[in-house]
């Protein structure tokens, strides 16, 4: 195994392959460039946000084996920027090139049932849940979990898509039709005090560091705002960080992991989901930390030592969703705000167009 003496290190000048061409890939490429790495994007879309700032792009389908083979030959290590990349694509690439994190973490995060089974198996509690594979089994699962509950597609849901809230007035047969899924998960609805998330980086030598947890607010199922640090007592912040490190260690992950947590009214952490990639709730780290989540990913997958996660400021990150992008003028007029736009030409409702991070004093009344 490569270790801290540099053996197995992927050195500056090498090429990092990124599966996916979205804003996360863009920000990985932007973090890789100052350290002398080149990025090669593989995605099915022309003119993606990531390819605009990367050295090379392959535009091909995720199941195009000839294109994947050529991509594997052209890069020194591969990572992915969203978890709906087909696991078969990552497994194919793993036979040709180092992929970090690997297909195991990806598979767990792609399937809400496997994800919750895994979390509970490693001692991280979640809400009560049950699987359903037909309208009839949905009825049984809802009876078992109790109402109100959420029914989510097991695969491919994100940003609140593929979810139905179920209460006594819901027609379950219609809800099943609406989901258009082969398999669903029924989750007990949590009446939470707060949603927060913790992002950890784990290096090739097993070193694991956590950024301060962020407090998250969603609008229409999409992340709207992240406040850092989360307004939790110091000991609770550390507990959240420990959960993140524990999950990354159990996955033996090399790279980044986000664990989304609910804080229940009785003060417990329940995990919602995990993402083995940079996370929207960690964008504040670009402007407020010694090392951003994106730089940590580059360091981890290239076998470099991880950087410090110290916070130089508290932060409030606000997503610019759809028409919110017009707020860029207000953002650039605020001397303490940092504007990030993703280069997406077409504005669509619900589309993440950019974000703004406002830097706040470290001792601004919150526990830090
Ligand atoms: P998800 O796609 O699972 O991240 O869910 C999107 C959002 O829906 C979460 O960030 C929560 O705000 C809400 N949510 C998801 N699952 C639950 C749950 N079991 N109880 C209450 N709210 C939930």
Query: Cβ(272) to ligand 1 under 6 A?
Result: yes
Instruction: Specify the residue with its C-alpha closest to ligand 1, atom 1.
Output: 160
Query: Cβ(189) to ligand 1 under 6 A?
Result: yes
Instruction: Specify the residue with its C-alpha closest to ligand 1, atom 19.
Output: 189
As a whole number, the mean pLDDT across the chain is 94
pLDDT at 1: 34
Residue 33 alpha carbon to ligand 1 centre in Å: 35
pLDDT at 5: 40
Burial class from Cβ neighbours inside 10 Å (0-12, 13-18, 19+) for residue 233 reads exposed
Answer yes or no: is pLDDT of 367 > 60.
no
Question: Which of 10-24, 121-135, 157-171, 243-257 is predicted least confidently?
Answer: 157-171
Mean pLDDT of 78-84: 94
* Choice from 127, 258, 272 to test ligand 1 binding pocket (greatest atom count within 8 A of CB): 272
Two structure tokens written together for 137: 């089994």
DSSP 147-159: SSEEEEESBS--T
Query: Cβ(160) to ligand 1 under 6 A?
Result: yes
Buried b (16+ CB within 10 A) or exposed e, 167-176: eeebebeebb
Q: What is the pLDDT of residues 138-150, one digit of tens each?
A: 999 999 999 999 9
Confidence of residue 158 (pLDDT cuts 50, 70, 90): low
Q: What is the pLDDT of residues 214-229, one digit of tens each?
A: 999 999 989 999 999 9
Virtual CA dihedral for 283, 288, 289, 294, nearest 10 degrees? Answer: 20
Nearest atom, ligand 1, residue 163 CA: 2
* Choice from 113, 116, 148, 160 to test ligand 1 binding pocket (greatest atom count within 8 A of CB): 160
**Could you tell me which of 69, 66, 99, 70 has the C-alpha nearest to residue 85?**
99
Task: Write down the pTM of the prediction.
Answer: 0.95
Answer yes or no: is pLDDT of 364 > 80.
no
Q: Which residue has the higher pLDDT, 205 or 181?
A: 205
Q: What is the pLDDT of residues 314-357, one digit of tens each?
A: 999 999 999 999 999 999 999 999 999 999 999 999 999 999 99
Query: Cβ(190) to ligand 1 under 6 A?
Result: yes
Instruction: Specify the residue with its C-alpha closest to ligand 1, atom 15.
Output: 272
Residue 272 alpha carbon to ligand 1 centre in Å: 7
pLDDT at 156: 81
Q: Which residue has the higher pLDDT, 160 or 209?
A: 209
Query: How far is C-alpha 28 from the chain's CA centre?
Result: 13
Round to whole Å and give the CA distance between 287 and 296: 14
Confidence of residue 4 (pLDDT cuts 50, 70, 90): very low
Phi and psi at residue 116, to the nearest 5°: -70, -35
Q: What is the pLDDT of residues 300-310, one digit of tens each?
A: 999 999 999 99
pLDDT at 368: 42
Confidence of residue 160 (pLDDT cuts 50, 70, 90): low
Peptide bond preceding 148: is omega within 30 degrees of 0, i.e. cis?
Answer: yes
Residue 219 alpha carbon to ligand 1 centre in Å: 11
Answer yes or no: is pLDDT of 275 > 60.
yes
Query: Cβ(157) to ligand 1 under 6 A?
Result: yes
Answer yes or no: is pLDDT of 185 > 80.
yes
Confidence of residue 181 (pLDDT cuts 50, 70, 90): confident
Buried b (16+ CB within 10 A) or exposed e, 107-141: bbbbbbbebbebbeeeebebbbbbbbeeeebbbeb
Query: Cβ(214) to ligand 1 under 6 A?
Result: no
pLDDT at 162: 83
Query: Cβ(162) to ligand 1 under 6 A?
Result: no
Mean pLDDT of 71-100: 96
Query: Cβ(187) to ligand 1 under 6 A?
Result: yes
Identify the DSSP state of 289.
B
Round to whole Å and give the CA distance between 56 and 312: 33
CA dist list (Å): 19 to 62, 85, 91, 201, 343:
9, 7, 13, 19, 18
Query: Cβ(83) to ligand 1 under 6 A?
Result: no
pLDDT at 331: 97
């Amino acid at each position: 195994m490569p270790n801290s003496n540099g053996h197995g290190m992927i050195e500056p000048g090498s090429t990092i392959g990124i599966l996916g061409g979205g804003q996360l890939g863009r920000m990985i490429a932007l973090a890789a460039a100052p350290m002398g790495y080149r990025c090669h994007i593989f995605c099915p879309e022309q003119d993606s946000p990531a390819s605009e700032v990367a050295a090379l792009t392959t535009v091909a389908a995720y199941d195009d084996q000839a294109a994947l083979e050529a991509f594997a030959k052209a890069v020194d290590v591969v990572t992915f920027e969203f978890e709906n990349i087909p696991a078969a694509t990552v497994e194919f690439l793993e036979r040709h090139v180092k992929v970090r994190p690997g297909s195991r973490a990806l598979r767990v995060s792609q399937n809400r049932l496997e994800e919750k089974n895994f979390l509970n198996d490693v001692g991280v509690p979640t809400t009560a849940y049950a699987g359903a594979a037909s309208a009839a089994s949905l009825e049984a699962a809802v009876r078992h979990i109790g109402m109100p509950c959420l029914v989510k597609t097991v695969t491919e849901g994100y940003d609140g898509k593929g979810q139905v809230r179920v209460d006594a007035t819901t027609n379950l047969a219609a809800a099943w039709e609406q989901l258009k899924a082969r398999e669903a998960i029924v989750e007990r609805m949590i009446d939470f005090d707060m949603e927060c998330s913790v992002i950890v980086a784990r290096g090739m030598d097993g070193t694991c560091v956590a950024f301060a947890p962020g407090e998250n607010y969603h609008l229409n199922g999409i992340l709207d705002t992240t406040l850092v640090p989360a307004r939790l007592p110091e000991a609770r912040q550390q507990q959240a960080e420990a959960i993140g490190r524990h999950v990354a260690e159990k996955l033996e992950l090399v790279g980044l992991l986000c664990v989304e947590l609910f804080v229940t009214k009785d003060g417990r952490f329940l995990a919602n989901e995990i993402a083995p990639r940079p996370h929207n709730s960690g964008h504040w780290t670009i402007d407020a930390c010694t090392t951003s989540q994106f730089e940590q990913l580059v360091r981890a997958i290239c076998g470099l030592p991880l950087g410090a996660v110290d916070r130089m400021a508290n932060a409030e990150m606000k997503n610019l969703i759809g028409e919110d992008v017009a707020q860029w003028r207000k953002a650039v007029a605020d001397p303490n705000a940092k504007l990030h736009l993703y280069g997406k030409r077409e504005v669509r409702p619900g589309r993440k167009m950019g974000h703004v991070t406002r830097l706040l004093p470290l001792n601004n009344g919150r526990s830090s």
